[in-house]
Amino acid sequence: MASSLESTLTRAWLRRGPLAIALWPLSLLFRLLASLRAGLFRAGVLQSGRLPVPVIVVGNIFIGGTGKTPLTIWLVEQLRAAGLRPGVISRGHGGEGDSGPREVLPESSAREVGDEPLLIAHRTGCPVVVGRRRVDAGRYLLERHPEVNVVVTDDGLQHYALQRDVELVLFDGRGVGNGWTLPAGPLREPPSRRRDFTVVNTPELTPALARAVGGRPYRMQLAGEYAAPLRDAQQRVPLSSLATTMAGKRIVAAAGIGNPGRFFAMLKAAGLAVQELPLPDHHDFLDDPFRGLDADLILITEKDAVKCRQLEHLNNDPRLWVVPVTAQLDAVLAAQIVEKCRGRPTA
């Protein structure tokens, strides 16, 4: 029932149809309350904390997955290339740990710290701390890693209890949907919300899409070039070669991410004929959705792979192969972010 309701709302949020119009009065109330809350933080009525180093927030106003984790990974790598020493904090969505700060360690499980922070830690090797309160998570990160001189917040755009120096708002090809806030539309805040930089995760940034999201957007593309067996990440095979060698075989593509259609489209663009298996975002795989599945090859995302590797029966399934993706953006964006960070004293 929950899945059906989510699907119905997702479709309704892309246009101003009967359901969206019926929910519009509630949308006005939601927008009013969101604006009031943000205003109380700006006025100092609600307390916010500042870290002694620059803070960059990577977030979205469109509910659901838009590609924040790949963007965060790209940003960490760019900051490091510029000579900075980044660390990452996150809410740790999907984790079952307590609400206090917790560092993501090599032996951490996705159930403890969340799948996205675990992926960020694995891909970047930088310090990552999760916690319900971003201020506490940031302070904990700096206490344990005093070398960190810039903090990247994975998500948390609406977490105004943490003051920030740079905000990146990420959209995807859906733009702003019908342009309304929850529950009549998909937006947590109105499209006019201020931000420092706008990024759109899309193969083509059309003028109409650019106008809808505003803010002179930068285009981001997610590129997947190869696949590797889940249990042997070093055995890389280009997707183009995989499409040739697996021609006529039954290939299933599974994705437990916010927008699985984006993953499926990327594989098809690489010439792979796949059967789609969308899974709920942050799926824990304890139910083993692949048991009894008639497939010669199962392609999964990196976000799903960090959980599957921690389940022995899945890690030993030779059909499971991982397709990593890398965010590609204009280097000018990285230079502008670094410039903003250098404009504030660092630790």
Q: Are residues 309 and 236 in the same domain?
A: yes
Cα–Cα distance list, 39 to 48, 135, 195, 319 (Å): 12, 19, 15, 52
Please tell me whether 251 is known to bind a ligand: no
Q: Are residues 276 and 199 in the same domain?
A: no
Please tell me whether 156 is known to bind a ligand: no
Position 299 in a domain = yes
Q: What is the pLDDT of residue 87?
A: 98
Q: What is the pLDDT of residue 199?
A: 98
Cα–Cα distance list, 38 to 81, 126, 154, 172 (Å): 34, 31, 19, 24
Q: Are residues 193 and 179 in the same domain?
A: yes
293 phi and psi, to 5 degrees? -75, 125
Sheet containing strand 326-328, strands side by side: 102-103, 128-130, 86-90, 150-154, 55-59, 166-172, 197-201, 218-223, 326-328
Position 171 in a domain = yes
Q: Looking at the predicted structure, is the pLDDT value of residue 269 above 90?
A: yes
Tokens of 281: 């975002």
Q: Are residues 67 and 209 in the same domain?
A: yes
Q: Are residues 114 and 239 in the same domain?
A: no
Q: Are residues 68 and 99 in the same domain?
A: yes
Query: What does DSSP assign to residue 284?
Result: -
Q: What domain range is 258 assigned to?
A: 225-324
Please tell me whether 244 is known to bind a ligand: no
296 and 272 Cβ atoms separated by less than 8 Å: no
Please tell me whether 65 is known to bind a ligand: yes
Position 297 in a domain = yes
Position 21 in a domain = no
Please tell me whether 326 is known to bind a ligand: no
More confident residue, 342 or 168: 168
Q: Are residues 163 and 176 in the same domain?
A: yes
37 vs 19: CA distance, rounded Å: 27
85 and 152 Cβ atoms separated by less than 8 Å: no
Q: Are residues 169 and 292 in the same domain?
A: no
Q: Are residues 117 and 148 in the same domain?
A: yes
pLDDT tens for 170-211 read 999 999 999 999 999 999 999 999 999 999 999 999 999 999
Q: Are residues 122 and 140 in the same domain?
A: yes
Please tell me whether 10 is known to bind a ligand: no
Position 62 in a domain = yes
Please tell me whether 64 is known to bind a ligand: yes
Please tell me whether 69 is known to bind a ligand: yes
Read off the CATH number of the domain in which 143 is found.
3.40.50
Q: Are residues 316 and 334 in the same domain?
A: no
Q: Please report which confidence band the pLDDT of residue 268 belongs to, taking 50, 70 and 90 as the band edges.
A: very high
Q: What is the pLDDT of residue 346?
A: 46
Q: Are residues 186 and 281 in the same domain?
A: no
pLDDT tens for 111-166 read 899 999 999 999 999 999 999 999 999 999 999 999 999 999 998 899 999 999 99
More confident residue, 219 or 4: 219
Number of domains in the chain: 2
